[in-house]
Amino acid sequence: MSTFVSCRLWASGLQVLSRASNKSLLKWLTPGIGVKRWIGLFIAGVTLLGLGIAFLLVDLYRGQPLPPFFYVLTLRGLPGLVRGGIVGGVGIAAIVVAVVQLNRSLLAPFAQPGQTVVEAVVTHRRRSRGPKIVAVGGGTGLPTLLRGLKAYTANLTAVITVADDGGSSGRLRRDLGVLPPGDFRNNIAALANDEALMTQLFQYRFGQGGLEGHSFGNLFITALGGITGSFEQALVESSRVLAVQGQVLPSTLEQVTLMAEMREEESGTLSRVAGESVIPETAGTIGRVYLQPDRARAYPDAVRALLAADLIVLGPGSLFTSILPNLLVPGIVEAVRASAARKVYVCNIASQRGETEGFNAQDHVRAIEQHVGPGLFQTVLVNNRFPTLPDDADFEFVSIDGEGAPGMNGNLSIYRTDLIDNKRLWRHDTNKLAAALMTVLDETHASAQAY
């Protein structure tokens, strides 16, 4: 009878354990998340503490007379197995409830809505062990890429052009002599853990008054640069505020101006245009772009990230004003060439007015090769779905003309897939783009292992 009662008590304790864990406790045993060893140490510590208390109670129990309630509290008169079952079951239930609730209280702020704490821990560990990916570019294309990739890895680096001279960034650059913070702000926000209030505040743009046109994030980064004494430290502190997974780096810390040689279509005359924001607004066809000064030193951390990368992604973004300005920094293009990473160029979904009107995928690749030479990347990722455009559409899709790889380099591989954002047909879908790039990387690893 006593054995039966003891078993029932242990069963009750296990039921409490099951309810408290909500069927997710086993996820804490996922290999590699660094939890099981500490659970084992905790159990060992609790066991030793229990033994110490037991020795003390036995000594008191046998050594001197005690009040009657003490004997009731210690269940004297019941068989030892029953007493062990009752005390053990209650102890296990208390420990489980305490640990589960403590973890929920401590880690709940780090879990996304609809996500359990253990799921947040597993996701964090998986992302921290993800591939090292470096994305090179600027403008609106790079944040789209980063939002998708951060679901796969926390080892993300964005290398951003500093040639921006328009809007709020241009005003701060001219008035205060700082590097343009706009693209950095957008990419820091894209790498933030969520779109919470702080991220929205970072992206807030003033609509009136003396600050009209400025975004709060631009002013914040600029102010931090003044406090910390350096633009790069301001980026680090801004990333810490938004709990960014990854890093955002400039391609150079030098003040550079993007220059362009433009050819007037009717007369064929050449003109020189200065300024990243001016180039797309100038009539004519872009012949080439270059930086002044033309020997800007690459930012060392950006070079190190490129050399250590598993995957380097060029684009998406404005070909002449976002992607090429980074590659025109000598140390950057050399680091890309020297890196053992898989290098992928993401071709734009649609042509861009003032830059790539009438360009197909081959023209995009050819323009890059004309500026920095062939062989910079091995794969071109292009969209292969072209839905019917509305009559009032002011853009056209970038087509894939001819067979084989685009451009002049016959060694290029071309990866075709649906990349279109169904709500904004001229842009990439962040999830489709990230999934396609991870597929390319997985295929690269599979080929290397097979070889």
CATH value at residue 302: 3.40.50.10680
Q: Is residue 411 part of a domain?
A: yes
* pLDDT value at 10 more than 70: no
CA gyration radius, the chain: 30
* Contact status, residue 141 vs residue 322, Cβ threshold 8 Å: yes
Same domain, 152 and 294: yes
Specify if 431 maps to a domain.
yes
Split at pLDDT 50, 70, 90, the class of 245 is: confident
Question: In terms of Cα–Cα distance, which of 88, 95, 84, 89 is closest to 20?
Answer: 95
Same domain, 333 and 421: yes
Asked, for residue 239, whether it belongs to a domain, the answer is no
Same domain, 80 and 152: no
Residue type, 366: R
Give the other-Cβ count within 10 Å of 26's Cβ: 9
pLDDT value, residue 14: 45
145 lies in a domain?
Answer: yes
**Mean pLDDT of the 154-172 span:** 90
Q: Are residues 143 and 23 in the same domain?
A: no
pTM of the model: 0.75
Closest among 281, 231, 242, 286 to 263, alpha carbons compared: 286
Judge if 72 and 156 occupy the same domain. Answer: no
Q: Scanning the structure block, which residue is given the tokens 């957008």?
A: 186
Amino acid at 23: K
Asked whether residue 38 falls in the same domain as residue 138, the answer is no
The answer to whether residues 128 and 52 touch, using CB atoms and an 8 Å cutoff, is no
> Which tops the pLDDT comparison, 103 or 164?
164
Regarding whether 340 and 433 lie in a shared domain, the answer is: yes
Q: Could you tell me the residue range of the domain that residue 80 belongs to?
A: 2-95
Same domain, 324 and 383: yes
pLDDT digits (tens, 9 = 90+) for 49-96: 887 877 777 776 666 666 666 666 666 666 767 766 777 777 788 878
Q: Is residue 366 part of a domain?
A: yes
**Residue 178 lies inside a defined structural domain of this protein:** no
Same domain, 354 and 419: yes
Closest by Cα among 201, 183, 301 to 242: 201
At 42, which helix (H) or strand (E)?
A: helix 36-63
Assess if residue 200 is contained within a domain. no
Residues 145 and 21 in one domain: no
Distance separating the N- and C-terminal Cα atoms of the chain: 67
Number of structural domains (the chain) is 2
3-class secondary-structure state, position 343: strand
| ω into 181 cis (within 30 of 0) | no
Question: 3-state SS string over 143-195?
Answer: HHHHHHHCCCCCCEEEEECCCCCCHHHHHHHHHHCCCCCHHHHHHHHHHCCCC
In tens, the pLDDT along 365-416 reads: 999 999 999 999 999 999 999 998 888 888 899 988 755 545 545 678 899 9
Overall average pLDDT of the 212-233 stretch = 89
Cβ-Cβ contacts under 8 Å for 76 (sequence gap 6 or more): none
Kindly state whether residue 322 falls inside one of the protein's structural domains.
yes
342 and 413 share one domain: yes
Compute the half-sphere exposure of residue 360: CA atoms within 13 Å on the CB side of its CA.
Answer: 10
At 169 the pLDDT is 86
The answer on 157 and 52 residing in a single domain is no
